[in-house]
Amino acid sequence: MLELTKNVLKNVSFDKSLFKKELRKATTWLAKDEYHQLKIWCLASFAMYSDIINEVFQ
């Protein structure tokens, strides 16, 4: 499921609000280890959205 989430986030990364919506959705159903992996990957891949990423993962 983590890879699917990554693909979705890549596809919606053009729109900040859509990115936030999909990221929130993903965090509700990922396993705990995938949750942490996703956070690290998001921060590395989407530094321009670091404010959103930190907000969602708090």
DSSP state of 51: H
pLDDT of res. 31: 92
Positive or negative: CA dihedral 9, 3, 43, 46: negative
29 and 1 Cβ atoms separated by less than 8 Å: yes
Kindly report the pTM of this predicted structure. 0.91
pLDDT of res. 35: 95
38 and 30 Cβ atoms separated by less than 8 Å: yes
> Which sequence spans correspond to the domains of the chain?
2-56
Tens digit of each residue's pLDDT (9 = 90 or more) over 13-50:
999 999 999 999 999 999 999 999 999 999 999 999 99
